[in-house]
Structure 1
Amino acid sequence: MASEASTADMAMAEATPDQPVRREDRIVSLDLIRGVAVLGILWANITAFGHPQAAYAWPEMLPGGGNAADDAMWLFQYIFIDGKLRGLFTLLFGAGVYLFMERAWARGSSRWLQARRLLWLGAIGLTHFFFIWYGDILFLYAMSGLLSLMFLKRSIKTQFWLGISLYLLGGALFTLMLGGQALMEANPQIEGAEGVMAFWEEMRAGVPAKVAVYSTGSLTDIWGYALAEYPKLLLNHPFLVITETLPLMLIGMALFRWGFFEGALDRAKTIRWSWIGIAVSAALSLPLGLWVMDQGFPQILTQFAFAGPSHFIRLPMILGFAGLLTAYAPGIVATGIGQRLVAAGRAAFTNYLGTSVVMMFVFHGWALGLFGKLHRLEMLVVVFAAWAVMLLWSKPWLERYRYGPLEWLWRCLTYWRLFPLKR
């Protein structure tokens, strides 16, 4: 046992900072899941890339209102995509924070190295947020990651149950807050309803200005709009940190330490419980989504379904996706598409930010000018084209270079050293 531990410590120590982790030492399921997640996040985000933020959850904000295909796509995404891929990515980020620290500890470094790494991530995230796309998650991850450093050396059970508790608390807060507002939407005579409706009306009133600047403005016009309007969106971040991002990171840390992503748990049970989690989540989401559709997508009710009870419901599917991808990883990575998904996961940082840059050229008025013009089914064409690009470039790049471009930059900033990029 001692020799095995020392061998593992040596492998971790050799992996960073001068060299990427050797292929035989990588946890392939992490790369695979990260690759699937970074592709899936684009599907989840595509509506917010091409339309005002409200359209992300509310089909009525699409051009001319939603059509039957939009409604069907909304329902499918509501059940299987929205929140699930972001949650999967967040689990992986939490696991990655702990994995980084394992290797740092093996080399004699402290959590301050991780803190510096996360501060650089936050700076990159804010740049992304203001100058590329307001839907950035990197700054949120940096804030949550810094908080997670307080819990690195807590027991696995503490990390897991603290994560679960905070996540459930978040679901309760979202459900109560939005549920009360949805009740006022349906019964405007309730005391306080007038103020709530005025808030949502004010939000809708600002949509034409955003559509105008994004569909016809120059890049500097868009930057000016973002710098003026988006700082207030950051006020939501502390709430999101505590209610979703930090909890999922802590759960991801605990799962990693349990050996979940390395297949240490019983494979048959992992597969069985993963399918049960996915099925239960889908079975609970379907009637809720159909109810909202039947009501004609009232704005607050739609937001309630999207972020309230679904907060609870999506967790079994997030864990189910993670379980199935981990269990089936050896077979998947043996295929050509599996190898490309792994490569996309190894370059997930570059793929995530690179996708945002590409979407600027697709949707902004100074480029192709498709902002506010495509319906959900049409936007899937953009998604599939971007997937093809991610899968095509990542593998040949990593065969020639040690890291993805932004992965390399982040590593150099973290250690404040210039590392070789070419193999």
Structure 2
Amino acid sequence: MSSIAGTGATPDALGGPDAGAEHLVPVGVSERIESLDFIRGIAVMGILAANIVAFGQPFSAYMYPEAFLTEHGAASDWMWIGQFVLVDGKMRGLFTLLFGAGLYLFMERVWERGGTRWRQMWRLFVLMLFGLVHYFLIWTGDILFYYAVFGFFVVPCLKWRAKTQLVVGIIGFVLGALFYAANMSFLYAVTDTSAGEQAELAEIREEMMQAKAGALADDAVITQLKQDGDYAGLVAYRAAEHWADPLVNLTLFALETIPLMLIGCALYRFGFFSGAFDSRGMRFWGWTGVVVGGALHLAIGLFVREAGFSYYSTLAAFVGWSPLPQLMMVLGLAALMVEYSPRWTSPLAERVRAAGRAAFTNYLGTSILMLFVFHGWALGLFGELSRPQLYIVVVLTWALMLAWSKPWLERFRYGPLEWLWRCLTYGRVFALRR
């Protein structure tokens, strides 16, 4: 992919409203890169497999099996390891990579039509509002707010050379991974090993134990509200006790998300998603990333199992020890899907691409559907399903995603929320029907 200067586009200086904004239109179907849709479809399905535990059990159970309200036996422990190796962090990483690519792709179209980066900024602001509604009214596991905020930091970097974006992204990710590893390893050592028995660390250990107890107590309050079907009480509790969490958690995600967005942006410009790379190399590095990254994840998972899936060993595994193997797997999976997806032309593959084209609707729609599945005012299954049973919910929801997306897009230009986001981005109503 050529640089901005090579495209004939005119970058703005982030200093004023769009020029020629009346000519701006969203990316059309004919302009889409199918590999992006396929990867996005896999990611939106996979992210449900990652999130299902936090949908159907207390939030701490996402990492900490002992927080399950149902039995978590040996089979479920191995499923924890399987999910940790294959899914957790990888689907979010793919989404983030594609979001970075999408930031640049969007700006290419805007620049070609005489627009400026203010259009992108406004688009991200609208996404941020979607994220806040998602967080406060639907589910606290929202990622849209973080993507929007971090997108504000990435937009000024879009004029960098692609090589600069790639190098800064990789270095930033590695430094962030080392920072996470150091901090989480320290917490694990203090709480789960004899090191924490030293007098100078006793106070820190006690604070960490209190933090764990506080998190589990908070889960208990939320569990009761969900099981009672007190939706108004749940929203009020979230607004009163957790209103600052989206801001606080920015620090947790920043050193992963911003670098991955920059890497995704650079890979798009290099033609990675368009098949510009050597096929043999894509297959070699793709499989190398998946196999080596997967083996490292497995080693971490087995270590956590030997540690008894303690609270801080699982936290360290997710946040501190897995980022570098995660990067290997994310890039490896992306390479393999770019390489193989053109050959996957079956009806199922076409439905996956359709799910990817409607990924925004599928992501938020899944959260809304889970309200009806788990909250007490509807089916009331919160805290009632074991890990294997939760995966049955995942498969049924996948089937629903694949069933509706393709027929809808055969009749309409965009998914419902994709259409709404476009209309709000451009300040005009676009035709929805084909």
Instruction: State the shift of 1:403 in Å.
Output: 0.7
AA in 1 matched with 2:197:
Q
Residue type of the alignment partner of 1:408? W
Q: 2:131 aligns with which of 125, 130, 135?
A: 125
Aligned equivalents of 1:251 and 1:100: distance in 2?
16
Q: Which runs of 5+ in 2 are unaligned?
A: 10-19
Q: Which residue of structure 2 lines up, in the alignment, with residue 276 of structure 1?
A: 288
Aligned partner of 2:310: which letter?
Answer: P
1:21 pairs with 2:28: yes
Q: Does structure 2 conserve the Cα–Cα contact (< 8 Å) formed by 1:160 and 1:254?
A: yes
Distance 1:64 1:341 in 2: 33
TM-score by length of 1: 0.94
Counterpart code for 1:222:
L
Q: Quick check: 1:59–1:65 contact (8 Å CA) kept in 2?
A: no
SS of the counterpart of 2:381? coil
Instruction: Give a deviation string over 1:60-115, Cα, whole Å, max 9, x none.
Output: 11124521121011000111100000000110011001000000000000000000
Query: What is the CA-CA distance between 1:117 and the residue it aligns to?
Result: 0.3
1:129 CA displacement: 0.5
Aligned partner of 1:82 in structure 2 is 88
Counterpart-to-counterpart distance in 1, 2:174 and 2:7 = 40
Distance in 2 between residues matched to 1:323 and 1:421, nearest whole Å:
33
Instruction: Give the 5 Å matches for 1:152-191.
Output: 152-186=158-192, 187=194, 188-190=196-198, 191=201
Paired residue type of 2:93 = G
Q: Distance in 1 between matches of 2:183 and 2:273?
A: 35
Match of 2:75 among 69, 73, 90: 69
* Partners of 1:261 and 1:326 within 8 A in 2: yes
Alignment of 1:137-156 (within 5 A): 137-156=143-162
Distance apart, 1:6 and its partner CA? 11
Retained in 1: the 8 A contact 2:70–2:386?
no
Residue 407 of structure 2, aligned match among 393, 396, 403? 396
Aligned pairs for 1:87-126 (under 5 A) are 87-126=93-132
Quick one: which amino acid aligns to residue 189 of structure 1? E
Q: CA deviation at 1:238?
A: 2.7
Residue in structure 1 matched with residue 257 of structure 2 by the alignment: 245
1:297 and 1:383 map into 2 onto residues whose CA distance is: 24
In 1, Cα distance between equivalents of 2:24 and 2:38: 22
Deviates more, 1:360-369 or 1:231-240: 231-240
| Structure 2 match to 1:256 | 268
Query: 1:301 and 1:319 mapped to 2: Cα distance?
Result: 26
Determine the structure 2 residue equivalent to 1:380.
391
Query: What percent identity do the matched residue pairs reach?
Result: 48
- For residues 325 and 253 of structure 2, what CA distance do their matches in structure 1 show? 19
- Counterpart residue identity of residue 318, structure 1: V
In 2, distance between residues paired with 1:382 and 1:313? 28
2:13 alignment partner in structure 1: none
Q: Could you tell me how far apart the structure 1 residues matched to 2:249 and 2:424 are?
A: 24
Paired residue for 2:351? 340
* Distance in 2 (alpha carbons) for counterparts of 1:48 and 1:403: 29
C-alpha contact 1:134 1:230 (8 A) present in aligned 2: no
Is 2:419 aligned against 1:412?
A: no
CA distance in 1, matches of 2:391, 2:93: 21
Provide the rounded CA distance (Å) in 2 between the counterparts of 1:155 and 1:21.
26
Return the alpha-carbon distance in structure 2 between the equivalents of residues 264 and 237 of structure 1.
37
State the SS of the aligned residue for 2:433: coil
Rounded to whole Å, the distance in 2 between the matches of 1:6 and 1:244 is 30
Q: Output the amino acid matched with 1:386.
A: T
Q: Deviations over 1:27-70 (max 9, x none)?
A: 11001100110000000100111112110011111124521121
For residues 207 and 405 of structure 1, the distance between their equivalents in structure 2, rounded to whole angstroms, comes to: 33
Distance in 2 (alpha carbons) for counterparts of 1:285 and 1:299? 18
Per-residue deviation, residues 251-272 of structure 1 (Å, max 9, x unmatched): 0000000000001000111011
- Which position in structure 2 is the counterpart of 1:195? 207
Q: Deviations for 1:119-148, whole angstroms, at most 9, x for unmatched residues?
A: 000001000000000000100000011110
2: CA distance between counterparts of 1:419 and 1:79? 42
| Residue 52 (1) aligns with residue 64 (2) | no
**Pairwise CA distance, 1:7:** 10
User: 2:238 — aligned with what?
Assistant: 226
CA distance 1:246–1:275, shift in 2 (3 Å) = same
Secondary structure of residue in 2 paired with 1:308: helix
Structure 1 residue corresponding to 2:279, chosen from 243, 267, 270: 267
User: Could you say which residue in structure 1 is the equivalent of 2:15?
Assistant: none
Supply the distance in 2 between the matched residues of 1:408 and 1:277 (Cα, whole angstroms). 36
* Secondary structure of the structure 2 residue equivalent to 1:374: coil
SS at match of 2:72: coil
Per the TM alignment, residue 208 of structure 1 is displaced from its structure 2 partner at its CA by 1.5
Which segments of structure 1 move beyond 3 Å, counting only runs of 4 or more? 5-9, 16-20
Q: Find the partner of 1:361 among 362, 372, 376.
A: 372
**2:63 partner amino acid:** A
The one-letter amino acid of 2:208's match is V
Q: What is the number of residues matched between the two proteins? A: 413
Letter in 2 for 1:51: Q
Q: Does the Cα contact within 8 Å between 1:58 and 1:297 map onto a contact in 2?
A: yes
8 Å contact kept, 2:70–2:384:
no
Distance 1:19 1:161, change over 3 A: closer
Letter in 1 for 2:305: M
* 1:317-336 pair list within 5 angstroms: 317-332=329-344, 334-336=345-347
C-alpha distance in 1 between matches for 2:294 and 2:406: 33
- Secondary structure at the counterpart of residue 414 of structure 2: coil
